[in-house]
Structure 1
Amino acid sequence: MHDAALRLEAVAKGYNLGTPGEVQVLRGVDLTIAPGETVALVAPSGAGKSTLLHIAGLLDTPDTGRVLIGGQDMTGRGDGARTAVRRGDVGFIYQFHHLLPEFTAAENVILPQLADGAGRAQAGARAAELLERVGLSARADHRPAALSGGEQQRVAFCRALANRPRLLLADEPTGNLDPDTSDRVFDVLMTLVAETGLAALIATHNMGLAARMDRVLRLENGMVVAA
């Protein structure tokens, strides 16, 4: 049996926002995502989707509970170990592309590979392969400012997949795009996920997109429930 790509066990998180008492955002979340599975996470703004994704991606730590990635329990692990897993095993996509403006599309996909120890030739070949898959070979030498919103987000997908992660986390990845572009970009994302067999947890307000994934979960009152 393969280890789950992601397992959250009784994950709780609260914040003290300067008012009396703590705001409890997550109240004991249990969640398991298998390799190759796509899961939509839907919830109103402010319900804790981003907090859950940040904890799942080791950008934040829960107050209580466990986070396991590929069977590795990350509870209490140091910054170095968390950074290594985050860099190699987790890919992130946000609503805004966050590409580095001074670098070309290809360079934006190459850089995370170099940071993970890949050689420049290997990283360049991987970037070229991914950009071809998303139909951007002809735009590889363009900087982000010369790309459309949909093209920028496709480059961001390639960057997230550059190090062959086992887990993809996406926070409203098409929320900044018009509906037609959103559909096209989402098609590209789902094709990449299917081809690579990685697990994906995708937060979205778009129920039409959510319905195309394997499962839809809702975040309600700090708990994850089937939608």
Structure 2
Amino acid sequence: MTDPVLRLAAIEKTYKKGKPGEVRVLRGAALSIDPGEVVALVAPSGAGKSTLLHIAGLLDTPDGGTVEIGGARMDTLSDRRRTAMRRSALGFVYQFHHLLPEFTAEENIALPQLANGAARAAARERARALLDSVGIADRAGHRPAALSGGEQQRVAFCRAMANAPRLLLADEPTGNLDPATSDRVFAALMQVVRDTGLSALIATHNLELAARMDRVVQLEDGLLREGAREQA
């Protein structure tokens, strides 16, 4: 039996909020994502979806519970090993693209590969191939300021894919785009995810986009439940 790409078990997370006390954001949240599965994460604002994504992406540690990637425990690793795992196995896309403004689209995608030890020529070749896969190969030499919002987000998606991750984590990846552009960017994202057999956990408020994924999970009251309400 193949191990899930991601398994979260009994995840707990509490934040101190000044004098009033503590806020318990996650209360035993559990989730398993199989290879090639694309899961939508739907949650009301402030419910803790970003916290959950940060824990799944090894950017934060839970107060309790376990995090596994490919059957291996992650929550007990040293900071150095967690960083190495993020570089090699995980890809991140956020609502805002966070591209480096002084570099071209191609260079923004090549940089994570260079940081992971890739040769410069190979990194540039993969960057161009990724840009071609989302339909903007002709924008490879443009800096972010010369790109539209949809183009910037597609570059950010390609950057997340640069090191061929096993799991893609996306936090409202089309939330800053108009509906028509959002649909085009999401379609490009899903096409590449399907073509590569990648697993993904994608947070979105858009239930139409969520319905196009394999499964929808709702985060509410610190727990994950299958399905989503009509209003997120």
Alignment TM class, shorter chain as reference:
over 0.9
Q: Which residue of 2 aligns with 1:39?
A: 39
Q: Which whole-Å deviations, capped at 9, do the CAs of 1:78-136 have from their partners, x for residues lacking one?
A: 01100000111000000000000000000000000001111111111110100011111
Question: 2:26 is matched with which residue?
Answer: 26
More divergent stretch after superposition (69-78 vs 154-163): 69-78
- Structure 2: 5+ residue runs without aligned partners? 228-232
* Stretches of 4+ aligned residues off by more than 2 angstroms: none
Residues 1:80 and 2:80 aligned together: yes
**For 1:41-96, what per-residue CA distance to the aligned partner results, in whole angstroms no more than 9, with x for missing partners?**
00111000000000000000000011001111012210110000011100000000
SS at match of 1:18: coil
Distance 1:135 1:191 in 2: 11
The one-letter amino acid paired with 2:191 is T
- In the alignment, the residues of structure 1 paired with residue 94 and residue 150 of structure 2 have an alpha-carbon distance, to the nearest angstrom, of 13
Mapping of residues 123-202 of structure 1, within 5 Å? 123-202=123-202
Structure 1 residue runs of 5 or longer lacking an equivalent are none
Report the TM-score when normalising by structure 1: 0.99
Distance 1:179 1:219 in 2: 24
SS across alignment from 1:65: strand
Alpha-carbon offset, residue 2 of structure 1: 1.8
1:198 maps to a residue whose letter is: L
Alignment identity in percent? Answer: 70
AA paired with 1:27? R
Instruction: Look up the equivalent residue of 2:187 and give its one-letter code.
Output: D
Deviation at 1:21, TM superposition (A): 2.4
**Count of aligned residue pairs for this structure pair:** 227
Task: Tell me how far apart the structure 1 counterparts of residues 67 and 10 of structure 2 sit (CA, whole Å).
Answer: 9
Distance 1:89 1:76 in 2: 17
Structure 1 Cα separation of the partners of residues 102 and 162 of structure 2: 19
| TM-score, normalised via structure 2 length | 0.97
- Give the drift of 1:10: 0.5
